[in-house]
A and B are shown apart, each in its own frame.
Chain A
Amino acid sequence: MKQRMIMKLLAGMTGLGIALGAATVHATPEGDRQELAKFYTSKYPNIKLEDYVYGALAFDADSKAQYEAIMEFPPFESEIEKGRKMWETPFKNGKTYASCLPNGGNQIAGNYPMFDEAQGKVVTLQDVINACRTANGEEAYKINDMKTMGVLTSYMRTLSNGMIMNIKVESPKAVAAYEAGKKTFYSRSGQLNFACSSCHVQNAGNRLRSELLSPAIGHAVHWPVFRGGDNLVTLQQRYDGCFKQVRAVPPPQGGTVMNNLEYFHSSLSNGLPMKASVFRK
């Protein structure tokens, strides 16, 4: 009896190994990414990894065609235009975002989140934008304010279109932040008892009701999105929604838990091209 139980447990765990990353305690971030890529591509050999940037659309030609039609004349163009104005409008001291961000803010989004050794923590692109604001005597934007930070990044991130996601996890402290994010991703939470991986690894490509579930690789490259064409949603805002969906209390946006999650989660998209901003259902 006992033996049967143990056998069952073991069987469950080996199944889990790949799907949940449980067996990969000593893996490197690049190893984690490759293992996950192998998991998806062997389950869905007909879908190319490059197509994961389309999320759930990669699994459904009809929705993908609909997406492409919408992206020809995006209904959210005027919002991005607002973001451009925000980006170009000088601060009260005459300086601009371009003057205080690395490389003038061009082709940098794929480096974030980045582990900042001096601060000893993960900083997101939003953090860098806020640091730029406060250094120039402006107030920081609220990370979860879609009307300011959201709209600004909907334009700002277009300056990195085509850049390859390139999240680096090097120092021991960076690895610790990465591991913390990985733990959040694979841990169950909420009354409904899901981990991010339950839906976006174990069940990527399956339907929850009529909703196709996207793979976690490719998730981080295309933010913000405009859901339904006009509802701007940033990446951490999306995390917030997924936490709420399983009746978990979402950690605060811009806080350590969310930032570490974004750090781990973004590294899974290393090697894929950035593209802002896109339509989502």
Chain B
Amino acid sequence: MRKLHHVAAACAISAIMLSGNVLAQVAATPTAAATPKKEETGKDIAFNRTKGNCLACHGMPTVPDAESTGTYGPPLIAMSARFPDKAKLRAQIWDATASNPASSMIPFGKHRVLTEQEIDKVTDFVYGL
């Protein structure tokens, strides 16, 4: 069972690595942005590899479909207890290096990886974890 899981994981990894990279790709597909789709939720943005890609670094133990998550950052759990002030949570996502200069978390707002609205949505989603 564990073996199988490993094989599957290995395949998934090769698929990622061969197709390019673990992190979000430069492919900021303009066409996808142009076609009006169902509005993206905070969760969609957090999960999307070309947007938040939070799972590359963070586990989300309370979200069942948060799979093959990284260990680069701490698991995101009990966030409203740890960040009673939602603005602080948003600030962490906007620019983690402001409070910790050594942080290797991507400064999503400062470097415009996500838009302000996207950050609002992600903050709401993460606050609920």
Q: List A residues at the B interface (Cβ < 8 Å).
A: 8-9, 12-13, 15-16, 19-20, 62-63, 66, 191-194, 198-199, 202-203, 206-211, 213, 227-228, 231, 241, 244-247, 281
Q: Is the CB of B71 within 8 A of A246?
A: no
The stretch among B20-28, B30-38, B76-84 that forms the contact with chain A is B20-28
Q: Is the CB of B112 within 8 A of A191?
A: yes
Q: List B residues at the A interface (Cβ < 8 Å).
A: 6, 9-10, 12-14, 16-18, 21-24, 26, 55-57, 68-72, 97, 99-102, 104, 106-107, 111-113
Which one of A15, A198, A211, A246 contacts B13 once the chains associate, using CB atoms below 8 Å?
A: A211
A208-B70 CB under 8 A given contacts A20-B102, A198-B104: yes
The 6 closest A-B pairs by CB, nearest first: A198-B104, A245-B21, A210-B68, A207-B70, A207-B71, A209-B56
Q: Is the CB of A211 within 8 A of B107?
A: no
Which residue of chain A is the closest to B12 with respect to CB atoms? A210
Q: Is the CB of B22 within 8 A of A245?
A: yes
**Extra A-B contacts (7), CB below 8 Å, given A191-B112, A208-B22:** A62-B6, A193-B97, A211-B16, A211-B22, A228-B17, A245-B21, A281-B14
Q: Dominant SS at the B interface?
A: loop
Residues of B contacting A19 in the complex (Cβ-Cβ under 8 angstroms):
102
Cα distance A192–B10 when bound, in Å?
Answer: 26
A228-B101 CB under 8 A given contacts A206-B72, A209-B68: no
Q: Is the CB of B101 within 8 A of A13?
A: yes
Residues of A contacting B56 in the complex (Cβ-Cβ under 8 angstroms):
208-209
Which one of B17, B55, B69, B106 contacts A193 once the chains associate, using CB atoms below 8 Å?
A: B106
Which residue of chain B is the closest to A191 with respect to CB atoms? B111
In the complex, what's the smallest C-beta–C-beta distance from A213 to chain B, in angstroms?
8
Q: Which of B13, B102, B107 has the most CB of A within 10 A?
A: B102
Q: Is the CB of A244 within 8 A of B99?
A: no
Cα distance A191–B10 when bound, in Å?
Answer: 29
Residues of B contacting A66 in the complex (Cβ-Cβ under 8 angstroms):
10
Q: Is the CB of A63 within 8 A of B10?
A: yes
Q: Is the CB of A245 within 8 A of B70?
A: no
In the complex, what's the smallest C-beta–C-beta distance from A203 to chain B, in angstroms?
5
A191-B23 CB under 8 A given contacts A209-B69, A210-B13, A227-B17: no
Cα distance A191–B100 when bound, in Å?
Answer: 18
In the complex, 8 of the A-B residue pairs with CB atoms within 8 angstroms, ordered by the A residue number, are A8-B100, A192-B106, A193-B106, A194-B104, A210-B12, A227-B18, A245-B23, A281-B14
Residues of B contacting A206 in the complex (Cβ-Cβ under 8 angstroms):
70-72
Residues of A contacting B68 in the complex (Cβ-Cβ under 8 angstroms):
209-210
Q: Is the CB of B104 within 8 A of A210?
A: no
Q: Which of B22, B72, B104 has the most CB of A within 10 A?
A: B104
In the complex, what's the smallest C-beta–C-beta distance from A247 to chain B, in angstroms?
6
Cα distance A9–B43 when bound, in Å?
Answer: 33
Residues of B contacting A241 in the complex (Cβ-Cβ under 8 angstroms):
21
Cα distance A202–B14 when bound, in Å?
Answer: 24
In the complex, what's the smallest C-beta–C-beta distance from B24 to chain A, in angstroms?
8
Residues of B contacting A199 in the complex (Cβ-Cβ under 8 angstroms):
104
Cα distance A208–B18 when bound, in Å?
Answer: 15
Which residue of chain A is the closest to B112 with respect to CB atoms? A191
Q: Is the CB of A228 within 8 A of B23?
A: no
Cα distance A208–B100 when bound, in Å?
Answer: 20
Cα distance A180–B28 when bound, in Å?
Answer: 32
In the complex, what's the smallest C-beta–C-beta distance from B26 to chain A, in angstroms?
6
